[in-house]
Structure 1
């Protein structure tokens, strides 16, 4: 899970129960409303603000916020430098001959499906804006993102173009959420979203949650405004992989956003990739850093299709070069993505680390009949700060099970990605730096 920066926890109170910066203006001209269809069933539609008053029976849910691509001009490069810089060659060779495919959905402005560099790497996609199966890129951004993925992976990693952002580089939450659900329902393993916007969106968060619930890795750009990610979305989302941009010298790009949500950094300055019309061009931005991470996530999934969202997250963060402050920091996250030391044996150890439960571990009363979708609320005796280091795991038969954690002021909510097995024994483990170790055993019911 993400680390917090400040003082370490000295004491902790644990309770277990069911879980139930200044924002920037996001000027949207549309609202999401709940209306009844012909079958008298509630559905959600996007309506222009001038039409809202005419809908007498509609329930206004939230503005249909706008997200924008996270890209800026770069200096011309004669050749691609990113894949070699992150040591991708070793993993490309390992996965090139493996059976099956992994699909990366690029939710963006579409892709030039006729581009010679891309046309053999694509699977069927969708145009959310025009409601058809021709997601042709009318901008260039999506084609550039797809090219980075193709350049960093073997041919058995395929790209699903989903056009949800218009030719001006603007995408409404309504369209983006539809694109996410389309990608999940049509076999995507990874979702790349190289855009950012202001304001938290429940509607978009629900779509991201839908992807995570279906074990689809979601990778997003941190943004290019040199600001904190906390008022941004999805860049401020703790549940996804948030990517910052670095340069050839492994320095954080001066435009790259920073903050508590940052997970990892990747090359994002002067990145050469495909653009519509069969040509290539260099651009910079956290937009271009994000597909490097999506590409590596795809190869990790290709190597072992059983890997979960949590497995991929752990491996990405393990294979990094630490830059900035030691350990996690709000600029680089865990560090700059680098696979030069990738080793299959080490990878197995990362995914099945020893529990190292010491003899002085404090135990809480065991629980029986726990629901299969149970969330645990871990409450601390004070508000968490950004330097507190906390590791929470749920273990079954000696192996970690995939979980999602949500951090609030003084608590962490722990939820299984998939339902627990019925009538099974589990162990919740809590490790707090300078604060001790705790465990709680529980058994599920029906």
Structure 2
């Protein structure tokens, strides 16, 4: 009996020893790709230390892309040194409708989109975006005979080559920069330095961390313009930070609005303020049906049946906002060549002058400020000359301001210099009239506000007798006001001394009275002081 009991206990002990080995068997840790946006170096180091793999460290963004155990993500989110944790979302190109070209000679004269943009005139004027650095963040660029690629980088995981294996990036590249030669088509800005930044794969798909690396690369390598014919459906804070940083660093960022046919809603990053959002138009200057629209649309450009370079030295037609965006990128490159000293913000504003207004008058949700179009300097010179002449006749500030705006479109040359001198004379006469009126007002009102306004007006004047005369008149007003302040101060202190009757208040009042000039007021105040006994 005892032997049976011992055997039963032994079996039970064996089971309790064996069973937990199965119930406690460790399950494989689930890993996830995230982007850690840190507040400081301590936060960055924490993310790196807790990661399974570091996928990317960014130069211009406070972020690091890592692979990490899902269980650790929550602790990272709660870390006070980390701003937030972003999911490594999937993005894709603004999908296009493609078909091969049957024409063996699609010259610029036969391409409606380039006719709309007046590129033949730009070529005649030798405005080609020469040496402007343009980065195309896309599927790469195929080594096409009608393209010249200055360099680039691949950020997809299966190849170190930026060679296009989809066709989309090559089509975008041709729209911007197809060479001006005797065959094929020609780009809007055939003289740019073209850079292929491969952030999308052969399916036209990519992830957020690769796109951020591409933007980071563009900033580091001092690109002038970034073209993004791709997007995400949702707002992504770190993507916004990336394009904002690029813009603050002086780059222009252009993006397709999206091809979902949505009205009142555009994709990201096109929707961000630092990005120029582009909608697509047709040959008849109507809105392409697939184009997304909304308040963020800044410009529009041809996006329907656009012919451009493709894989294997072919030329294909494509439709989409992906095709519209590079037209705007090319136009900005032309402006960059014409106005190399203007900032990215100034060029962005200047592009409004190179548009054809479509749809509702002024800026609207479908076409923005209008469909872009190259305008020769001769047209702007004629408008500026007329505006200067009008300002010389009217001598009003409003007309001078309008003339200056029109002159800002001109490149630096002798004609612009001559107009500048003429408008300076008109402005000088207006400034003198203004300064005279404001000095007169100051003499009448004798207030600090009127004095300040008059002084500002005088500072605008060039050195000369007129400026010296007005300054002397204003100085008299200033002295008068300053003296009246002393009188007021003395009166207040005497009144205080009469009320409190202390040595301190009387001494303070006496000191204030002594600063006054000999006058009835001073005599009266002194008599009042003398009557105070302390």
Deviation at 1:218, TM superposition (A): 0.6
The equivalent residue for 2:71 is: 53
The answer to whether structure 1 residue 140 and structure 2 residue 143 are counterparts is no
By how many angstroms is 1:37 displaced? 4.2
RMSD: 3.4
The SS at the match of 1:277 is helix
Using the TM superposition, name which of 79-88 and 283-292 deviates more: 79-88
User: For residues 132 and 92 of structure 1, what CA distance do their matches in structure 2 show?
Assistant: 37
Q: Is contact 1:128–1:178 with CA below 8 Å preserved after alignment?
A: yes
- Classify 1:52/1:128 alpha carbon distance in 2 versus 1 (closer, same or farther; 3 Å): same
Aligned counterpart, 1:362: none
Matches of 1:299 and 1:283, distance apart in 2: 23
The question of 1:90 aligning with 2:90 is answered no
User: Does residue 123 of structure 1 match 2:123?
Assistant: no
- Partner of 1:245 in structure 2? 280
TM-score (norm 2): 0.56
Higher RCO (C-alpha under 8 Å, 6+ residues apart) = 1
Residue of structure 1 in register with 2:35 after alignment? 32
Task: Decide which moves more: 52-61 or 223-232.
Answer: 52-61
SS at match of 2:92: strand
Matched with 1:64 is 88
CA contact 1:319–1:341 (8 Å) conserved in 2: no
Instruction: Say which of 110, 117, 125 aligns to 2:140.
Output: 110
**1:57 to 1:186, Cα distance in 2 relative to 1, 3 A:** same
The CA deviation string for residues 95-131 of structure 1, in whole angstroms up to 9 with x for no partner, is 4588x6111100011111x21111xx21110111249
By how many angstroms is 1:57 displaced?
Answer: 5.4
Aligned residues: 330
Which residue does 2:209 correspond to in 1?
174
Shift of 1:45: 3.9
Partner of 1:149: 176
Residue 160 (structure 1) aligns with: 195
For residue 364 of structure 2, the aligned residue among 322, 329, 333 is 329
Whether 2:405 is the aligned partner of 1:349: answer yes
Please give the secondary structure, in 2, of the residue aligned with 1:144. helix
**2: CA distance between counterparts of 1:352 and 1:52?**
56
Deviates more, 1:191-200 or 1:227-236: 227-236
| TM-score normalized by the length of structure 1 | 0.66
1:270 corresponds to 2:320: no
- Return 5+ residue gaps in structure 2 as ranges: 1-31, 38-42, 51-56, 78-83, 178-185, 385-403, 410-422, 435-448, 450-459, 462-534
Higher helix share: 2
Q: Distance in 1 between matches of 2:226 and 2:128?
A: 23
Larger Rg: 2
Please name the residue that 1:385 is paired with: none
